Amino acid sequence: MEFHAILRLVHITGFAAWFGTIFASFFLLKTLEPGLTGDGSQAQEYRVLLMRFIKLETKVADVAVISVILSGLLLAHFYQGWSPWVFTKIVLLVLQIALTMGYIVKVIQRITYPCDALQYRSWYRLFTISFSMFAVVLAVTFFLR
């Protein structure tokens, strides 16, 4: 197998894994919502489960993001060249990471459980940011290029 094909495989697989971790988190949080916004004893059990999941999910997402960045940079350097589209994609990925991490630090980390449904909706705003940025990156990559 040639190096270009391996890099593309790593890049696409990393992006899919990153996207998949976001979907898995969304589905888990949707499932846990009644328990995390309900009574205190169940909320603490669900909170422990959520924190454990986030810890594991973060490990997978970190590896996926790093593989996307490194393989993307290698693809640009060796095969695609440093075009304005490459720089646009880099800016979009940095923006996605910054918006997501900023929102997590500013809003999500401050949630205590049990919480009310209005506060829990902050999670859904985080997913809106993530999915919107994924859509923009995919649109630029596949349709505007």
- Kindly report, residue by residue over 54-99, the tens digit of the pLDDT: 999 999 999 999 999 999 999 999 998 999 989 999 999 999 999 9
Counting Cβ atoms within 10 Å, is residue 26 exposed (0-12), middle (13-18) or buried (19+)? middle
- Mean pLDDT confidence for 44-52: 94
pLDDT recorded at residue 145: 64
Q: Which residue blocks in 76-116 are alpha helix, DSSP H? A: 84-106
Taking the CA of residue 58 as centre, how many other CA atoms within 13 Å lie in the half-sphere pointing to its CB?
Answer: 9
Average pLDDT estimate for 112-137: 95
| Residue 85: partners with Cβ closer than 8 Å, 6 or more residues away | 140, 145
DSSP-derived secondary structure letter, 113:
S
- Which residues neighbour 10 within 8 Å (Cβ) at sequence distance 6 or greater? 67, 71
pLDDT (mean) for 9-38: 95
Mean pLDDT score, 96-121: 95
Is the pLDDT at 38 greater than 90? The verdict is no
pLDDT at 14: 97
Is-cis flag, bond preceding 34, omega within 30? no
Residue 91 burial by CB count (10 A; 0-12/13-18/19+): exposed, middle or buried?
A: exposed
Instruction: Copy the structure tokens of residue 100.
Output: 């997501």
